[in-house]
Structure 1
């Protein structure tokens, strides 16, 4: 008996992988390729992807014998066989290029031109050691042409692919887009099904779950204490009613409403009702993918949705609601069974759930990437409603590319996009607003006024200004948001040393995550006067409310997000948001260390005409600001050119949601629980079996990273500090109040 994996018959693995891939497959709405031929191609790819394991070399290896590495490999010889079967089955030779899914199913995608350089001599040796009878029996049972050729014929059919690729390179761009993402789609179906079969063996996953009709009965339990509560409820039900009015052929929507209006539950309910209408009218089951830009608010929003769904559903398992980010707990429960780490990790990373709460990073890099790990969830995007909350966090330079790519995916892969924000960027020109009278809500929510300080000031002048204001307003809560860790620490320490009345809190990514969350909870529970100094991490989604804010100059959308932490619940007298322009000892603005200069320039062009701006003016100013930014398309055009040229290996370098700053991850060991986890980590490092070591680390990964901070390498430059990545630090390098001790001026941890 031929094996694919220890104790697993090769034939079972091939046929089960094919069945899994076909079960996952959702027919795209294609313009240039034929859907039936695509499905047939997928069937061939999945069935033949491990034909190369039918060599005597691999079979000896899987049974524990030593075999030369180049001879036991199976992807390249499997690819040649797959290509031949597609060529004999489908007349259109463009479909042969999809056989490259097989060649790369244990690696990553790249420009097909790179895949044509393979070792003929090795492949011929492998071909001569193939169990052709086994292969032909599998093909014949599935009604595909059997292999009757010799190796030279097989090689010649492979060499034809270069000519096929030359032809497709000269096709129109729309066909290229279709090929580009169809290749990713088939690759995603193959690798997710292959991995799933290896992990679950003969067990097939089944779920007949439907998302709830709505969460309206849950919303009706909320008490309405003030005007803003009534406005939130009014908006919730107005948006809910909109679902019945929509033309389902339109795929891109937006919810543009003021901060603090309860957009999370409103847009989620909209998605539930939309999914149910699509199910009823189009007989299509939809998945809901709720995406957020920051890890700091993922857990918060997940708990909000979990609470709402738990009110409605008797059982809430992981196949209904799932959280996924790179630090999320590896936990998956279904039908009272908690799955082991390998099974759980696979189901989480392939988004095997009806409702997923995840990050922008996870979503965008399932599209703009070539990596196996990222692309295996691309197949889960078909038939989905994707909520992009805090959409303004997407860098403006990618708007044009996102417009083009998302519009294409919406039509061909049946994806509905819902953009959700208080500051709506002009990414799409054809998005339909689901809050019809949004202007009225912005006028009603006139909770704050923004005061523009025209002149630049240094930190000493700023500290004098803020301390005077704090003393003049002894019962007011203050939030001071600064652009760099260095400036935030200096302001915090100076104000605290003055003996000002109030409870002081410091927040930045210099503080390990568990302690940051602890401080935010304390802020919300504390009824005393509070003085909070923070970096930009406070901006979006952190649900705190103060009376007076000071914010160092930043792009307008960032200023608006910070303003959302002021008088958030309309508690009484208008809040005040002071915008200042801070400079360092060299006269350089702190904002220049963080933001591109023209973003600040465009912001100041709008703000310079004002001394005071009412909140009701924000909508108009935001629209003007985003209009100024929409002309920048150069970076987007580079990304689109990369797609048109099939340069899969370059796309992730072109599309960067976060600029990578070389940094060290350091484990902060200043509390007992951290010491316990570090001890466990050191025990795990001693495990010699790499797979067992990885499995054991997954058990503590979430708790481990609760104590990890990232410090830019240049913060350590010139310092005699013997630290390496994932080293442990204690009070020598970590201050319990303000975090990591050695920080350079340019530290810009966001």
Structure 2
């Protein structure tokens, strides 16, 4: 008899269970070998779909694939992911098994039973074990039959046991038995399995077996030479002998020399405007060649930086194919278990199989996406994790890591350095003191690339901070002040702390004598890019105008205004705002005004409010003892003091506290057995010892994790090619074409908060596509001025773009 794993929808060709299990095993071995864990990952691949050997699954797949009967007929009867975990548990998690064998069983077993959902809790807040419920307690009617067929068709029982012992040897060489490392190890194995499963299924659907090639050494060598050629052209150019460009050249050369050092966690504290994008790329390309790294990953706080940096690097490297921009997940991550979808490769399944695993040699992504890989629910996120190993990761504007995620961020980087053979570069003019907190970052000693930092910061001084916070100012007063000075200032950038105040100021200014531009996160990436291009043209022509925006412009956006006004916030934000003023030192020293805005409501913005208070204290102290700060509010000394005070004041907020379970997320994931309150409660409740080695609450933690405070959903907006992309997504059939479209669609999406999404749905402004996996915004709800327009009065002049 032929046992079916998948059926292609277009030609009803079948992939057998044995073909799929062995195919996933081979791919998982390739992925797992990156950490010396080929057999551990391969074991998960070998067992993950063992339950497809049951008659009930075979009847189900035949019905839906060949007789078009609805899958709902077998709902609840086609659990095919439990059997593999159950087999492993029954053979290697008994009284006579060693703690190491049990540990292997729990790590691999969790990946197997979770590959259609999220990793399970070993023990949960309700003092139960979802893991044990599946692998030990769940009754699977045809389980013995499935196991018999598995040992007949796929691997003999003797060879299987030997494979498990090979996996055990690898695990013992890898682990240090800390709960923190074991959490990341479990995530890594889960990542290998999910990506191997989806890749093998996609290759079957596309009728090809591609080679998994992660060796990009020759590509990095050609990129490095192109970059050096570009830097030489800068040096020989008209402005090559200007002091600021000589400084940039010197810093770039320091990065080149530093790349010869072994992988670690290093800092690159280049002042704003010091050329850190190309300097960090120079480090990454040279280091990747010398130490055989598989990819280079830029992680940035805002999508605006992705757009700019990717375009700059793409032009220099003369390559559009091998650079991936990953802004957000266009497909809505379904929360329910998707096990029932596995088998027949439908349009919905193709969307999930689309290449979304970060296997490109150079990747640009956001802090949100990076943190989601390690901590968020949805196996689409975790799928990418194994590709972070053996990489160079460059964190641009690292000070923007959300405060509540600082400990989680540090632990992820420590794992990448210690166990995943990656090198990490923290780039910013305003380095946070991440090594001075609990769950501290394991930076390398003498890990700062830039030599003589205080002198370098002095040499890059291009503006003066003017403190105007003595008296609060409201929006009307601010508008009057700007109107009265705007022409003499030529071009003015105003950065405020909240979107609502920015929008009101824009409305107050737009009927004035000068052109006014507005930037917002409610605009899609292409829309913002179009506005920034217009702004850059006006700046180049020295045409008077005004730009009002939130902090999205502060990090990495290459613009240079004559005058900047910044609402009081953290000192790092003020420094970044100052970096948009006189960026290239073209006008001597220019003024950056810091104001205290009366209309901003910061009650729910604790990070901004706390940063504002600490900066206010430093401003007051600076007036008395300016020499202690090297007579600069933006000095290295001032910034270091700011962050030490900030993290001390926010100390209780660094570990991602979850109110609903009254526990830090670090405790849910990384507590020792002695620290685990749930474990103590289990012993008291059941009057027995807890039967598992691991005690993490992985599913609970993922369920509550959100990088930003509210859940957002990506919505494709009717700007530019947005409508065309929606039409193509509805009609395209090939997975490869879907992958390309989904990447392109990211540029035309806006992340909408859940409350706003509900309102848009009530107003019939949202059109769902592909069974609610993708959302489209109707045309009247998108505005040229504001982006997503919640009043439904949007008007777009599409001909002008």
TM-score category of the 2 structures, normalised to the smaller one: 0.7 to 0.9
CA distance in 1, matches of 2:53, 2:34: 31
Matched ranges for 1:498-509 at <5 A: 498-499=512-513, 502-509=514-521
Asked whether the equivalents of residues 430 and 639 of structure 2 are also in contact (C-alpha less than 8 Å), the reply is yes
Scaled by the length of structure 1, the TM-score of the pair is 0.80
Asked whether the equivalents of residues 400 and 633 of structure 1 are also in contact (C-alpha less than 8 Å), the reply is no
Corresponding residue number in structure 2 for 1:189: 192
What do residues 475-494 of structure 1 show as CA deviations (whole Å, max 9, x unaligned)? x2111112233322332333
Matched ranges for 1:282-297 at <5 A: 285-297=293-305
Asked whether the equivalents of residues 18 and 43 of structure 1 are also in contact (C-alpha less than 8 Å), the reply is yes
Match of 1:390 among 397, 400, 406: 397
Closer, same or farther in 2 for the Cα pair 1:576/1:418, shift >3 Å? same
Corresponding residue number in structure 2 for 1:96: 105
Give the 3-state SS of the residue equivalent to 2:464 in structure 1.
strand
CA distance in 2, matches of 1:341, 1:718: 26
Corresponding residue number in structure 1 for 2:49: 50
Match of 1:488 among 502, 512, 523: 502
Q: Indicate yes or no: 2:5 matched with 1:4.
A: yes
- Could you tell me how far 1:198 is from its partner in structure 2? 1.0
**Bigger shift: residues 591-600 or 373-382:** 591-600
**Bigger shift: residues 437-446 or 213-222:** 213-222
Q: Indicate yes or no: 2:749 matched with 1:737.
A: no
**Bigger shift: residues 532-541 or 561-570:** 532-541
Matched ranges for 1:685-704 at <5 A: 701=742
Corresponding residue number in structure 2 for 1:136: 152
Give the 3-state SS of the residue equivalent to 1:21 in structure 2.
helix
What do residues 63-87 of structure 1 show as CA deviations (whole Å, max 9, x unaligned)? 2366633333311122212334555
Match of 1:70 among 70, 73, 76: 76
Match of 1:324 among 302, 323, 326: 326
What do residues 576-606 of structure 1 show as CA deviations (whole Å, max 9, x unaligned)? 110111113xxxx444464543222111111
Asked whether the equivalents of residues 326 and 746 of structure 2 are also in contact (C-alpha less than 8 Å), the reply is no
Closer, same or farther in 2 for the Cα pair 1:692/1:635, shift >3 Å? farther
- Could you tell me how far 1:255 is from its partner in structure 2? 0.2
Asked whether the equivalents of residues 5 and 16 of structure 2 are also in contact (C-alpha less than 8 Å), the reply is yes
Match of 1:598 among 606, 610, 616: 610
Asked whether the equivalents of residues 478 and 549 of structure 1 are also in contact (C-alpha less than 8 Å), the reply is yes
Closer, same or farther in 2 for the Cα pair 1:224/1:278, shift >3 Å? farther
Corresponding residue number in structure 2 for 1:231: 247
CA distance in 2, matches of 1:75, 1:374: 20
- Could you tell me how far 1:4 is from its partner in structure 2? 1.4
What do residues 412-435 of structure 1 show as CA deviations (whole Å, max 9, x unaligned)? 222221100111101135341011
Match of 2:511 among 477, 497, 513: 497
Match of 1:179 among 173, 177, 182: 182
Asked whether the equivalents of residues 60 and 78 of structure 2 are also in contact (C-alpha less than 8 Å), the reply is yes
Asked whether the equivalents of residues 442 and 616 of structure 1 are also in contact (C-alpha less than 8 Å), the reply is no
Mind listing any 5+ residue stretches in structure 2 that lack a counterpart?
Answer: 8-13, 123-128, 164-174, 332-346, 437-442, 656-663, 672-694, 768-775, 792-801
Matched ranges for 1:636-647 at <5 A: 636-637=654-655, 638-643=664-669, 644=671, 645-647=695-697
Q: Indicate yes or no: 2:273 matched with 1:270.
A: no
Give the 3-state SS of the residue equivalent to 2:142 in structure 1.
helix
Give the 3-state SS of the residue equivalent to 2:112 in structure 1.
helix
CA distance in 2, matches of 1:371, 1:532: 38
What do residues 590-636 of structure 1 show as CA deviations (whole Å, max 9, x unaligned)? 44464543222111111223469966743221111101123233234
Asked whether the equivalents of residues 463 and 582 of structure 2 are also in contact (C-alpha less than 8 Å), the reply is yes
Asked whether the equivalents of residues 394 and 657 of structure 1 are also in contact (C-alpha less than 8 Å), the reply is no
Asked whether the equivalents of residues 664 and 724 of structure 1 are also in contact (C-alpha less than 8 Å), the reply is no
Asked whether the equivalents of residues 479 and 549 of structure 1 are also in contact (C-alpha less than 8 Å), the reply is yes
Matched ranges for 1:366-381 at <5 A: 366-381=373-388
What do residues 696-726 of structure 1 show as CA deviations (whole Å, max 9, x unaligned)? 8766556666555556677799999834545
Corresponding residue number in structure 2 for 1:334: none
- Could you tell me how far 1:106 is from its partner in structure 2? 1.4
CA distance in 2, matches of 1:677, 1:386: 31
Closer, same or farther in 2 for the Cα pair 1:487/1:323, shift >3 Å? closer
Corresponding residue number in structure 1 for 2:531: 519
The alignment covers a number of residue pairs equal to: 670
Corresponding residue number in structure 1 for 2:709: 659
Scaled by the length of structure 2, the TM-score of the pair is 0.75
Q: Indicate yes or no: 2:364 matched with 1:357.
A: yes
Q: Indicate yes or no: 2:561 matched with 1:546.
A: yes
Closer, same or farther in 2 for the Cα pair 1:56/1:676, shift >3 Å? closer
Asked whether the equivalents of residues 497 and 567 of structure 2 are also in contact (C-alpha less than 8 Å), the reply is yes
Corresponding residue number in structure 2 for 1:634: 652
Corresponding residue number in structure 1 for 2:493: 479
Q: Indicate yes or no: 2:472 matched with 1:456.
A: yes
- Could you tell me how far 1:549 is from its partner in structure 2? 0.8
Closer, same or farther in 2 for the Cα pair 1:462/1:653, shift >3 Å? farther
CA distance in 2, matches of 1:372, 1:530: 46
CA distance in 2, matches of 1:118, 1:14: 21
- Could you tell me how far 1:108 is from its partner in structure 2? 0.9
Q: Indicate yes or no: 2:125 matched with 1:125.
A: no
Asked whether the equivalents of residues 555 and 599 of structure 1 are also in contact (C-alpha less than 8 Å), the reply is yes
Matched ranges for 1:399-478 at <5 A: 399-428=406-435, 430-431=443-444, 432-453=447-468, 454-471=470-487, 473=488, 476-478=490-492
- Could you tell me how far 1:565 is from its partner in structure 2? 0.6
What do residues 26-48 of structure 1 show as CA deviations (whole Å, max 9, x unaligned)? 364xxxxxx6xx54443332212
